[in-house]
Structure 1
Amino acid sequence: MSAPSFQSDCPLFFIMNAGSGRNDKSETHDIIERVMQEAGRPHRICLVDDAGDLSRVAREAVEAAKECGGAVVAVGGDGTLNAVANAVIGSGCAFGALPQGTFNYFGRTHGLSEQIEDAVQDLLHATPQAVQVGMLNDRIFLVNASLGLYPQVLEERETYKQQYGRSRLVAAWSGLATVCHGYRQLRITLEAQGNTSTLRTPTLFIGNNRLQLEQIGIPESELIEDGQLAAIAVRPVGTLALLWLMVWGAFGKLGEADNIINFGFSRLTVKPSKLYHVRRIKVAMDGEIAWMNAPLDFRVSPEPLYLLKAATRPQAEESANA
């Protein structure tokens, strides 16, 4: 599909998840409204109170945008961006993002400001640019997808966030606590590039974000620019060894650890061991938990997502230090 026909005066349809992100939603709403009115740009802001309605509202916004040549903009964390992007891709509409989450890997990689007013101003002068996204079965992911321990970490992280707030420190502490509480080993079969192997691992992580992979020290980060995804798996280890691997990752040296398996691929099929007769597998995509039918088919999406990017803002990885 060719790039969407998008003009600088096209309407923008904003989808805000009231339960996502770290900023006050009323303040964010008011800033978007003010900037758009000052620019005289047609727009609509949809505030979604129930996360279960997010996909439906996004689909409705896509249909409205298609009728007037507009674009759909997600406001929130990576999970909110994921839900809206799944509605937009393949529709012929451009996708905009105002990142408001804890880590914002997608936004930072593509040079999107985390300051809401700057980000909205950038949208006013942005043009659609093709960006790679990954696919897991029939859904796309922007940053990463995983199974095993990592989805468990994300689930328990939400409990900690509700108690202690949203911050990167809380996210790191909750991850340590989850590992210490115990975890199961996966028994899976991997098929990629005509090769089949059996693996026992606590977690399998698939990355589509160069910034995130670079920060933890995975050399396959460069493959993202060449149209591939990166796979990371941990060999069977005890709790102390796994905690030590987390330290390696925190210092950007995970790829040098002996207990790490990492490789690039364009398509990877993951099947659970025949011993377990598992039909559905819990996975995480961009921080959101879902159940998928086995086998799991990871691949680069055959069509890109057309992201609204301002040509004047540099790539954010130059200034991101988290």
Structure 2
Amino acid sequence: MKVVVVYNMKSGGNKSLNDLKKACDAAEIDVEKYIAVSAKLRANLKPYIKKNAVIVGIGGDGTLSAVAGMLAGTEAIFAPIAGGTLNHFTKDLGVDQDLESALGNVAKKRLHVIDTAVCNGRVFINNSSIGVYPSSLQVRERFEGYIGKWLAAIMAGFHAFFSLRTYRVKINNEMINTPFVFIGNGVYDISTPGIAQRTDIKHGTLSVFVAKTVSRWKLLKIALLAVIGRAAMLDEFDVFTTKSLTISSRRARLSVSTDGELGHEPTPLKYEIQPKSLRVYY
């Protein structure tokens, strides 16, 4: 099988280009081109997307999301491989987390057509959130170079908790004022302890979790019950499935987390599901 390999040397599970070449050779993969993630990624990938090539993406969720955004709506085929820290996307698809095993199985995988989602036209493959989490990311990024990642994360969490802003969400003809919104691509189950688990990425729907309170202590209660999979029992927490939603604010731009990457988008934010928009080997 002839493929194009996109790799990110800065991802959490990074390997050198020489290591990647050795792994591809060992897996008997015919690599037409190795392309490093850079500002020129779209331009560098464009001729291969036009040829409907198989694009192997190696990196964390942010890298895979960026590549998926370029392939969505085309006939090119995406073969995602874990190369980051959390690797939610590849885990949800059941892709081997070991690089060598995943490369060796690329040619054996079946072709699936899955959903993607967009925020103001920007594609994401896992989830997006507004409020507490992106606010804490912004503060963490500002300070982690001085005091370290984990101490900065703790400081950021306290800052976000005590400086809440509210947003207006229009979903399924209902209007909700909230300090926190989670939008997932696909069907998510929140009844299991820990983080929400995605159970379907081909259903043509967004899963939306909304806090229906601005009380800090009730938000803390939601967070604590979410850890044990019991947040849905609270009246102050609601779960929706929808094809689209709109988030508005008095601010011209909002901090938005998409697939773990912090960005800033003009308001209103318009989210939509893109059913069967990405061709994937897994």
TM-score (norm 2): 0.85
**Contact 1:128–1:306 (Cα < 8 Å) also in 2:** yes
Structure-1 separation of matches of 2:197 and 2:188: 11
Q: CA 1:76–1:155 in structure 2 vs 1: closer, same or farther (change >3 Å)? A: farther
Q: Does the alignment pair 1:295 with 2:268?
A: yes
Residue 57 of structure 1: aligned partner: 41
Residue 9 of structure 2: aligned partner: 18
Shift of 1:266: 1.1
Q: Does the alignment pair 1:129 with 2:112?
A: yes
Structure-1 separation of matches of 2:225 and 2:105: 36
Structure-2 separation of matches of 1:119 and 1:79: 19
2:74 aligned counterpart, secondary structure: coil
Structure-2 separation of matches of 1:283 and 1:294: 11
Q: CA 1:297–1:35 in structure 2 vs 1: closer, same or farther (change >3 Å)? A: same
**Contact 2:186–2:199 (Cα < 8 Å) also in 1:** no
**Contact 2:168–2:247 (Cα < 8 Å) also in 1:** yes
Shift of 1:286: 0.5
More strand by share: 2
Structure-2 separation of matches of 1:240 and 1:254: 14
Residue 47 of structure 1: aligned partner: 36
Structure-2 separation of matches of 1:145 and 1:240: 24
Residue 23 of structure 2: aligned partner: 35
1:178 to 149, 156, 168: 156
Residue 315 of structure 1: aligned partner: none
Q: Does the alignment pair 1:111 with 2:94?
A: yes
Structure-2 separation of matches of 1:222 and 1:12: 29
2:30 aligned counterpart, secondary structure: coil
**Contact 1:62–1:93 (Cα < 8 Å) also in 2:** no
Q: CA 1:216–1:299 in structure 2 vs 1: closer, same or farther (change >3 Å)? A: farther
Structure-1 separation of matches of 2:87 and 2:186: 11
Shift of 1:191: 4.1
Q: CA 1:221–1:61 in structure 2 vs 1: closer, same or farther (change >3 Å)? A: closer
Q: Does the alignment pair 1:261 with 2:238?
A: yes
1:120 aligned counterpart, secondary structure: helix
**Contact 1:187–1:201 (Cα < 8 Å) also in 2:** yes
Structure-2 separation of matches of 1:256 and 1:175: 28
Structure-2 separation of matches of 1:246 and 1:114: 29
Q: CA 1:189–1:238 in structure 2 vs 1: closer, same or farther (change >3 Å)? A: closer
**Contact 2:188–2:197 (Cα < 8 Å) also in 1:** no
Aligned length: 278
Structure-1 separation of matches of 2:3 and 2:267: 38
2:10 aligned counterpart, secondary structure: coil
Q: CA 1:110–1:86 in structure 2 vs 1: closer, same or farther (change >3 Å)? A: same
1:25 aligned counterpart, secondary structure: coil
Counterpart amino acid of residue 25 in structure 2:
Q
Shift of 1:214: 5.5
Name stretches of at least 5 consecutive residues in structure 2 with no aligned partner.
none
Shift of 1:268: 1.3
TM-score (norm 1): 0.75
Q: Does the alignment pair 1:84 with 2:67?
A: yes
Residue 179 of structure 2: aligned partner: 202
Shift of 1:156: 4.1
**1:106-164 CA distances to partner (integer Å, 9 max, x unpaired)?**
11110111111111112132343101111212121101012122212333455687665
Q: CA 1:124–1:31 in structure 2 vs 1: closer, same or farther (change >3 Å)? A: farther
Structure-2 separation of matches of 1:103 and 1:220: 13
**Contact 1:216–1:249 (Cα < 8 Å) also in 2:** yes
Residue 98 of structure 1: aligned partner: 81
